Every structure is written in C-alpha cells, then in structure tokens.
Chains A and B, each alone.
Chain A
C-alpha cells in the first residue's frame, strides 16, 4: 500500500536538488546549471559573487527554514494527536512574530542575536497560553485548532496595531511578517542552522517513542514510555524549531501543516523515516515557493509566505471538511 522508503527518499532528494539548481539559476541574471558548479568551485568565475553572496545563502536559509517548520509541524501533530495542528495554525509563529515586532518597536537598535531570543519567548508564551486556554479541548482536535486560530488572529491584530502606531520601517517589517527570504545573507544562517543541527538529532532520538505514543497514552506508558516527559520534550523541540524559523524570515505559513501530511501519505507512520522525509519536503516547499515568488512576475518579488498560503489554506479547508472526529 505504501511506497518503498528508498524510492520516496530518492524522489525527494531529486526534487530538492532540481529546485535548488533552478532556485540558484533563476533571477535577473540567469545562470545555467553547468555554470553554477564551476562558479562554486572557482572564485574567479563571473557568477561567483552573485551565487556566493546572494543566491546560495538565500537557498540555504529557505531550505533550513522549511525543514524546521515541517519537523515542528510533524512533532506537534504527533504529540497532541491532532492532524489540524501546526505551528502557524496554533498561533505559535504569530506569537513569535509579535515578540520580534515588540523588540523592533521598543528596542530598534537591538543586536540581531536578540531576535531569536525574542522569537523563542514569544513562541513559548503563545504555546503556554494556548495550552492553558484549551486545556479541556485536547481531545477535540478541531476545537483545539480553533482556539489556536483565534490566538493567532489576536496576535496578528496586536502586530498590526504596533505597526500602525509606530512609524518604524513598515516595509521591512511587512516583508519579514509575510514570510520573505528576500535579502537574507550569511549573517542570518547562524540564526537557524545551529538549532536544526541540535534539534534534528534530538527529534530522531524521540522518533520510536513517538511511534509508541500513536498507540495511545495508556499503551505507550504500559510499554515503558514516560509519556509526560516525551510530550514535553517533543513540544519543546517543536516550538524551538518554529521560533527559530520565525526569527529568520517571519512566518511562512502552512509548511508545517502540509509537509507531514504529504509524507505520511507516502511513508506511513514510522517517525524515524517521517522526520527526515518531512524535513526534505519542507525544504522543497519553501525553496520552490521562494523560487516561484521571484519568477512569477519579475521584477516584483513576492514573499514566499504568500505562495505557501495560496496552496496551504485551501488544503487546510479540505482537511477541516474531511475530518470527522470533532
């Protein structure tokens, strides 16, 4: 019934490489795939500067952000057993965004390294608030998601308010908020890469126990799993990844929702396979969204988050309609 894992991974990696090459090549200056390789190898190549300073960091950041959001969504869906959950639907990313905007408004000259801290605090506060408000709704996925959506709307309103009453550089803030990887360079890579380097292996270590959790709390704990600890640790990992992604390029919606669904339909339920496959899928989604955002109507560059929302929102509505266990 399910595809062979090796085939799925081969296809995903092929897609990732293809979109990466296209992503680097596309733009005001077109660079052919063969030239990309030579430009990467030689400093003297004519395109070395463009690739190394603009397109490569932007590609890497798109990929890493996508991977972080996707794993975050997979963990959240698994841990609260809610197929409608993801960091953006539940308001985690808006909470992180709000915190970053607050930092930007009240402390405009804060060093860039404060942004992830603000995003993390925002993400965790939003999660804590959600878990408190919806503590009786954990068994009702759609109702739980609704509380998250309402929270996200509230945070969104607070962000709008702050932007309207504070004459800061609204353009930049707007770009960041709609989830854009525009103008991202090597300086932004440390905001996301170390998080993934640490949290991805932790997620892999939790994988088998997440499989057990899918059998229900009672069975998981009678099989020797500490369910509370597992849930807490997984949520910590998920929120950290989502907040780190927000700190780099605002909230790119629906990647965390769609990627796990896509991969589950291909690979089944084993988290040891799901985690890496979901990460690659998330990377492909954000890289391709950023690519199409650039090439659909040049010279205008749309934020990638607008494109993911175009695909993601209808899919979310589809899930809501199909989902029976209110």
Chain B
C-alpha cells in the first residue's frame, strides 16, 4: 500500500433524515496518521458525517471505505469495530462499576458471546489505561470520578478497542478549560504514537492548534480542506461562519487563531 493511501475514503455520500438532505454528494479522503478536525456552523452536517463513518447512521447513497477497499457498509460490524473506534458526544456510564470494568468493554469486538477476557485482553486493557493516564483509577467506581477523569476513562475504553482510527464527537464539550487542553494534549500524544484521529470540534482556535487538517463544512458540503495555515482565513470565517473576525498567529503555538471584531454599536454603549 502506498503512503498516500487514505485512512478513510468517502465517495459520493448522501445522508437524509426523512426527506431532509443533510449531506449531499460528499467526497472526502482522510489522511492516515493525522489529526483531522471537522468544523462548521451548527447544522452543517459534521456530526452526521462522523456518525455515518461510525455506522450509526445509514447513508442513502454512496460508500465509505477504510484503507483502500474495505467497505464499512458491507463488512461485519465486529470487523469494523477492530479498526475504528468512536467516542460519542454523550456517553452513558452504568452505575456501580469500576474503571477497569468499563475499560474492559472496549475489548468487546475481540471476545466471544460471553465476553470472557483472555490474558492478551488484560494486557491491552492495562496498556489503554496507562496511555489515557487512568491506571491509578483502575479500581475506583465510575460514580466517584470528575468529568475530566471520566472522559479520560472513556478514551481508555476506545483505546482498549485497539483500532488504528479514533473518531471523537466533540470530546471537549462538557469539560472545563483545563481539562479540555489536557484531553487535546492526550489526543496529540496518541496521534504521535500512530493513531489516525478524526474529531468534530466547536472551538476553532483549539482546532487550529491541534489538527493537522481542517475539514470545513457548510450545509452538508465540504467548503474547503487543508492545513489550518492555508484554509483558516478571515474570508472563510465570514463566509462559512458568518463570523466577523481577524486571524492572527497564536503566540504560543504559531498556528492561526481568530479574534472577534468588536461591533461598533457595542463600543458606543461602553462609552
């Protein structure tokens, strides 16, 4: 396989809710070993796109391939689950189970009907907890964790799935600012160790800082795709987000960042 072969290849994707077209004729190749952020205004179809890739929504037309030719709509779910893991935006943690029990569920695609764990599974679970930095919490109960800890435990669960690709739907939404950056740093480490990461993000400046590629969407179509340096411009912000802003260089990371322009009427109020 050549190095340019994409991790995920989407061809002519159509997704509808009832009669409403959410995504139309979308083509997208997601690069292997990169962090790709899907951004766009509310209702642009970015979450729907992520859900289609993770097989939660069945597209009305088109196809999605993993690697060169593995069609996710035709392959058994368990096989796909060994290559592609999803962290949904809202997670449900059962009461009264420990962190290691929860993380162990990530091994599900590799287990038999009864979910019996083998030695190799235990190793993978321990490794996943270590990577996510939750080894110390292994025997704690889920109910006792803070929001930031819980989100890292869920990252450990998808890591236990041992997939090349991680999909995350707004993973920082319910976290406070310090845990947001902690999580993004963790994702960057995982990416450094070889994982392809695709995530939906709301915070544009965080997307610019941590993503290698931005996929900019509006009304179910891809408007632009490329590195933050090339696609994150003032024109794009005003056209896609209807957001009047200037783009400057992030003094810490040298990536682009946006700063909202002050509206004139607001300024006169302040005066």
Any B CB within 8 A of the CB of A105: no
Query: With A207-B114, A224-B78, A269-B95 given, is the CB distance from A219 to B86 under 8 Å?
Result: yes
**B113: Cβ under 8 A from any A Cβ:** yes
Q: Which of A207, A222, A268, A269 contacts B86 (CB 8 A)?
A: A222
A216→B106 contact, CB < 8 A: no
- 8 pairs, A vs B, C-beta closer than 8 Å: A2-B96, A208-B111, A216-B92, A222-B81, A222-B86, A223-B105, A224-B82, A224-B108
Partner of A212, one of B51, B79, B90, B108: B108
**Is residue A215 contacting chain B, with contact meaning CB distance below 8 A?**
yes
Q: Which residues of A contact B217 (CB under 8 A)?
A: none
Check: A40 CB closer than 8 A to any chain B CB: no
CB of B24 within 8 Å of the partner chain? no
Known: A208-B111, A216-B90. A222 touches B56 (CB 8 A): yes
Q: Interface readout for B37-55 with A: 1 if CB under 8 Å, 0 if not?
A: 0000000000000010011
Bound together, the chains give a CA A219 to CA B79 distance in angstroms of 15
Verify A221–B108 contact, CB threshold 8 A.
no
With an 8 A cutoff between CB atoms, is A218 at the interface? yes
Shortest distance between the CB of A10 and any CB in chain B (Å): 21
Q: How far is the CA of A45 from the CA of B187 in the complex (A)?
A: 75
* B55/A222 in contact, CB under 8 A: yes
B94 in contact (CB, < 8 A): yes
Q: Which of A237-269 contact B (CB under 8 A)?
A: 268-269
Q: Which of B67-104 contact A (CB under 8 A)?
A: 76-82, 84-86, 88, 90-97, 102
Taking CB atoms, residues of chain A closer than 8 Å to B77 are 221, 224-226
B contact residues around A301 at 8 Å (CB): none
Give the CA-CA distance A292 to B39 in the complex, in Å.
65
Q: Which of A222, A224, A268, A272 contacts B96 (CB 8 A)?
A: A268
Give per-residue flags for B107-133: 1 if the beta carbon is below 8 A from chain A beta carbons, else 0: 011010111000000000000000000
What is the number of residues of chain B that contact chain A, defined by CB distance less than 8 Å? 35
Contact A215 B86 (CB under 8 A): no
Residues of A whose CB lies within 8 Å of any CB of B are 1-2, 205, 207-208, 211-212, 214-219, 221-226, 268-269, 272
Establish whether residues B92 and A219, one from each chain, have CB atoms under 8 Å apart when the complex forms: yes
Q: How far is the CB of B28 from chain A (nearest CB, A)?
A: 19
CB distance from A225 to the nearest CB of B (A): 7
Q: What are the 9 A-B residue pairs with the smallest beta carbon separation, nearest first?
A: A224-B81, A208-B115, A216-B92, A224-B78, A222-B86, A218-B88, A223-B108, A224-B109, A224-B77
* A205, B90: Cα distance in complex, Å: 28
Whether the Cβ atoms of B91 and A219 lie closer than 8 Å is yes
Q: Are A272 and B91 in contact (CB under 8 A)?
A: no
Q: CA separation between A219 and B256, bound complex, in Å? A: 34
Evaluate contact between A223 and B109: CB separation under 8 angstroms. Answer: yes
- Min distance, Cβ A248 to any Cβ of chain B, angstroms: 30
Contact present for B54 and A215 (CB under 8 Å): no
Report A-chain residues with C-beta under 8 Å of the C-beta of B51: 218
Shortest distance between the CB of B26 and any CB in chain A (Å): 21
